[in-house]
A and B are shown apart, each in its own frame.
Chain A
Amino acid sequence: MDFEPTDDQVALQTELRRFLAERIDHDARRAIAEMPGAVDRDLWRELGGMGVFSLTLPESAGGVGLGFAEATLVFEELGRAAVPGPLVGTFLAAGLDVDLAASAAAGEATVGLCPVGEPAFVEHLPALDALLVVDDGGVALAEPPAGARPVDRPLDPLTPVAVVEALPAGRPVGDGDLARELRTRAALLAAALQVGLATAAVEMATGHANQRVQFGRVIGQFQAVKHMLADAQVQVEVARAAVQAAGVELDDAAAGHQEASAARRAVDVARIVASRAADRATRACIQVHGGMGFTWELDAHLYLKRALVLDAGVGSPEDAKDALAAAL
């Protein structure tokens, strides 16, 4: 056992972090919010070019040939930068046996991901080229639904939402087994995004606590503030370990070194703790910023809101709790 990241893994993560830090700042994020469906197509292609969506595809298929362990690192960085767009759906579509897969892998196409439900809340709809619809029985790939009603006040300004009365049936691309596999992968990637969001929130709050002066001293000296951030960081560290362990276990299961059920259980664990860590960290970030934390202007609310959006996606923490309860 050696659960530390390898040099290659560190390099992969560092390189993406550097790229995103330069590419997406406060203003860029808000500019993307004004684009159709809040997707920056140029950025999407750049991410595709870096192999973000083809990360786990074999090199023979034009992929990067890495595993879900690496995917957790990449998605942590995407979360940390709060990159808007249907990241999980596009990543999953790139791995399917469908015509669209190659363009999804390249970042040319955007693919949404939605659980079955009536009415359905579809994210990023104006920017979607296709929509993956998942329920217990199987997976379908649909045209973006027509006649959808855009929501005036989406929870997350970077995640525009449209409501449709019924999702199109689409073309079946897999049975219940594929649905379970996609749900597991979506859960892991959402958990990794949340670890990234939580990390960004603690960093932002720590930066503020290190320079904001009240009562003649920086507020980070006050234990009430320091301990709140320490508690948030503890949850982030635990969640990061759980998410990365689950990624490794998924890879081990794919290679036949681990039971698939044990790997799924590891993902359930990661899904639950990452959700809680993101909640704790993003709330702490707002609290540490005081009144400014409650404003639209500051990015603090974007982290909180994205985390809340992710909790309602395919492979939700509630699903994970049910699965874990059934296994106990």
Chain B
Amino acid sequence: MRLRETPEEQAFRRELRLWLEETLPTLPPEPPFEDWEAKRAYDTGWQRRLYEAGYAGVSWPKEYGGRGATPSEELIFLEETERAGAPYVGCCFVSTLHAGPTIIAEGTPEQRARYLPPILRGDHVWCQGFSEPEAGSDLASLRTRAVRDGNHYVVTGQKIWTSHAQVADFCELLVRTDPDAPKHKGITWLIMPMDLPGIEVRPMRTLTGESEFSEMFLDEVRIPVENVVGAENDGWRVAMVTFGFERGTAFVSELLASKRLLADLVEIAKKTPWRGATAWDDAGIRDELVLIEAELEAQWALTKRNVSRAARHGTPGVGGSVFKLAYHETRERMGEVALRILGRARLALDDPTGVSARHLDHVHQRLYALSLSIAAGTAQIQRNIVGERLLGLPKDR
């Protein structure tokens, strides 16, 4: 068990830190709230900067244009970019962390040559068309139909929770190509260009007031057969490959951002008047903040464990589920104590009175935390995974 960095890792960190110090002051201002075209431009602009500096696809293999970084180096990359306040991956999430790695693993040489370089350069934004209104936790029951017609599939159906669909160029799409096969055996993974006729995107507003997600209606969309990744009816396995790229780093930026939120909350508590003293002097508030700090630090140790495991065995196993269950609960409690400390200032989502010296939006974060036990596998599904795969308890069927 070694936490110290190798000389190579130290050099990687130093070099990256220097580059971030030089580069971040030259970035354009952040895009306005809910301006998705501007957000796309901002996020892809950052991706382009990463590309030019050799940091695009940091964990992708070198032969496909990536940096070939080890999971440890990927962790350092995420740690340094968060520390420096660099932009998040944003609109480039699906392309760089999902679709790209899937095409590397399962795509044809033609698909790799065509799709990977624009992803790395930030030219293309991708979205994910997996979930459906009737196929959420039970993803394999998806019903969007793809019927073969010559060299095309004709695709009709409805997708939901499609992040950044309104500004995406391509969609990684799961469709049902064999309705008669068992549900896991009749699914195909398709690349869908978003400019085809028959695609309608309707942004959905979430309870935070943002519309990052969309519903996507597909009406006889004609997708070329050459856009199949993997084989027809083998899409479930390909989708599992997509999920398998999780190297224990999916929530690293989140976790580090949470540590910053907690430090900010402590600062706010120390200057918030509270029954003749400050909120920090209240043992109940202080205990809760200390506990949350301990939990976040412990989850950081778990992250290092997961990343090390992924480096050795290819995937972190169920470590991702373990992390997510621990993390969402801590974030929910952090939101609760934040609102107690903020008092009436909780009535605004975006801190108009400048309570947070670091301009952090604790009320928004409290609402956002509600999604952490739902997105990317609900807490209930994660508990089934931990119970069945880690503890070996029997399935409920």
Interface residues of A (CB under 8 A from B): 1-6, 9, 69, 202, 206, 209-210, 218, 220-223, 225-227, 229-231, 233-235, 237-239, 241-242, 244-245, 247-249, 252, 257, 265-266, 268-270, 272-273, 320-321, 324-325, 328
Does B183 sit at the interface, judged by CB under 8 A?
Answer: no
Q: How far is the CB of A270 from chain B (nearest CB, A)?
A: 7
Question: Of A257, A270, A320, A321, which one neighbours B4 at CB under 8 angstroms?
Answer: A257
- Judging by beta carbons under 8 Å apart, are B301 and A272 in contact? no
Would you give the shortest CB distance from A181 to chain B, in whole angstroms?
Answer: 20
Partner of A1, one of B5, B325, B383, B395: B5
B-chain residues with CB within 8 Å of residue A244 when the two chains form the complex: 1, 301, 305
- A-chain residues with CB within 8 Å of residue B382 when the two chains form the complex: 230
**Bound CA span A206–B290, Å:** 32
> In the complex, are the beta carbons of A222 and B308 less than 8 A apart?
no
Q: How far is the CA of A303 from the CA of B92 in the complex (A)?
A: 48
Contact across chains for B380 and A1 when beta carbons are under 8 A apart:
no
Point out the residues of chain B lying under 8 angstroms from A270, CB to CB: 298
Bound Cα distance from A241 to B304, whole angstroms: 8
Contact B302 A237 (CB under 8 A): yes
Known contacts A223-B383, A230-B391, A3 near B1 by CB under 8 Å: yes
Q: Is the CB of A226 within 8 A of B9?
A: no
**Complex contact B311–A2 (CB within 8 A):** yes
The distance in angstroms between the C-alpha atoms of A239 and B383, with both chains bound, is: 18
Taken residue by residue from 159 to 183, chain B's Cβ proximity to chain A (1 for < 8 Å, 0 otherwise) reads as 0000000000000000000000000
Q: List 21 A-B contacts (CB under 8 A).
A: A1-B2, A1-B4, A1-B6, A3-B2, A3-B301, A9-B1, A209-B393, A210-B393, A221-B395, A226-B396, A227-B380, A227-B383, A231-B383, A238-B326, A269-B297, A269-B298, A272-B291, A324-B290, A324-B294, A328-B263, A328-B290
* A239: chain B residues within 8 A (beta carbon): 298
B123 at the binding interface (Cβ < 8 Å): no
Q: Is B82 an interface residue (CB 8 A)?
A: no
A241: chain B residues within 8 A (beta carbon): 298, 301-302, 304-305
B54 at the binding interface (Cβ < 8 Å): no
Q: How close is B324's CB to chain A, nearest CB, in angstroms?
A: 9
Identify which of B289, B305, B388, B393 contacts A3 (C-beta below 8 A).
Answer: B305
A305 to B194, CA, bound (A): 61
A233 CB, nearest partner CB in chain B, Å? 6
B254–chain A nearest beta-carbon distance, Å: 16
**Interface majority SS (helix, strand, loop, mixed), chain A:** helix
Are A222 and B305 touching (Cβ within 8 A)?
no
Which parts of B304-345 form the interface with A (CB within 8 Å)?
304-305, 307-309, 311-312, 319, 322, 325-326
Are A223 and B396 interface neighbours, CB within 8 A? yes
Could you tell me which residues of chain B, from 1 to 47, have a CB within 8 Å of some CB in chain A?
1-6, 9
Residues of A within 8 A of B350 (CB): none
Indicate if the CB atoms of A218 and B293 lie closer than 8 Å. no
- B residues near A, CB below 8 A? 1-6, 9, 72, 75, 263, 266, 286-287, 289-291, 293-295, 297-299, 301-302, 304-305, 307-309, 311-312, 319, 322, 325-326, 380, 382-384, 386-388, 390-396
> A202 — which chain B residues lie within 8 A by C-beta?
391
Within the assembled complex, what's the spacing in Å between the Cα atoms of A218 and B393?
9
Q: How far is the CB of A328 from chain B (nearest CB, A)?
A: 5
Residues of A within 8 A of B305 (CB): 3-4, 241, 244
Q: Tell whether, in the assembled complex, residue B293 and residue A324 are in contact, meaning their CB atoms are under 8 Å apart.
A: yes
Closest A residue, CB atoms, query B302? A241
A321 CB contacts on chain B under 8 angstroms: 287, 290-291, 294
Q: Are B304 and A210 in contact (CB under 8 A)?
A: no
The 8 tightest CB contacts between A and B, nearest first, are A242-B298, A226-B387, A245-B301, A230-B386, A220-B393, A3-B308, A230-B383, A272-B294
Q: Known interface pairs A1-B3, A222-B396, A257-B4. Does A237 touch B391 (Cβ–Cβ under 8 Å)?
A: no
Report A-chain residues with C-beta under 8 Å of the C-beta of B293. Answer: 269, 324, 328
B25 to chain A, nearest CB (A): 30
Cβ-closest chain B residue relative to A237: B322
CA distance A161 to B301 in the complex (A): 36
Instruction: Indicate which residue in A69, A221, A268, A328 contacts B394 across the interface (CB closer than 8 Å).
Output: A221
CB-CB < 8 A to B75: which residues of A? 1
- State whether B308 touches A2 (Cβ < 8 A): yes
**In the complex, how many angstroms separate the beta carbon of A254 from the nearest chain B beta carbon?**
13
Question: In the complex, which of the residues B295, B307, B384 contacts A273, with contact meaning CB atoms closer than 8 Å?
Answer: B295
Question: Nearest chain B CB to A76's CB is how many angstroms away?
Answer: 13
| Chain A contacts for B72, CB-based, 8 A | 1-2
Bound CA–CA A265/B325 (angstroms)? 24
Q: How far is the CA of A225 from the CA of B388 in the complex (A)?
A: 12
> Which residue in B287, B294, B312 is a CB contact (below 8 Å) of A269?
B294
- A218 interface neighbour in B266, B290, B304, B394, Cβ under 8 Å: B394
Residues of B within 8 A of A247 (CB): 1
Q: How far is the CA of A226 from the CA of B286 in the complex (A)?
A: 33
A172 → B minimal CB distance (Å):
33
Q: How far is B3's CA from A266's CA once the two chains are assembled, in angstroms? A: 12
Residues in chain B near residue A5, CB distance under 8 A = 1
Establish whether residues B322 and A252, one from each chain, have CB atoms under 8 Å apart when the complex forms.
Answer: no
Cα(A325)–Cα(B281), bound, Å: 11
**Residues of chain A with a CB closer than 8 A to B394's CB:** 210, 218, 220-221
Q: Are B3 and A210 in contact (CB under 8 A)?
A: no
* Of A69, A234, A273, the contact of B386 (CB 8 Å cutoff): A234
List, in ascending order, chain B residues with CB within 8 A of A325's CB: 286, 289-290
Q: Is the CB of B1 within 8 A of A230?
A: no
Of all chain A residues, the one with the shortest Cβ separation from B263 is A328
Closest to B388 in A: A226
Q: A3-B305, A9-B1 are in contact. List 18 more A-B contacts (CB 8 A).
A: A2-B2, A3-B308, A210-B393, A223-B383, A230-B387, A234-B322, A237-B326, A242-B297, A244-B1, A245-B301, A252-B4, A269-B294, A273-B294, A273-B295, A324-B293, A325-B286, A325-B290, A328-B290
Please measure, in the bound complex, the distance between the C-alpha atom of A173 and the C-alpha atom of B309, giving whole angstroms: 43
Whether A229 pairs with B3 at a CB distance below 8 angstroms is no
Residue in B5, B291, B299 whose beta carbon sits within 8 Å of that of A238 in the complex: B299
Report the Cα distance A1→B71, complex, angstroms.
9
Q: A206-B393, A231-B325, A233-B386 are in contact. Are A328 and B289 (CB under 8 A)?
A: yes
A229-B322 contact in complex given A4-B1, A4-B308, A325-B286, C-beta closer than 8 Å: no
**What distance in Å separates the Cβ of B7 from its nearest Cβ neighbour in chain A?**
12
CA distance A273 to B301 in the complex (A): 12
Smallest beta-carbon distance A178→chain B, Å: 26
Once A226-B387, A230-B325, A234-B322 are accepted as A-B contacts, the answer to whether A248 and B2 lie under 8 Å apart by CB is yes
Bound complex: CA A221 to CA B5 (Å) = 43
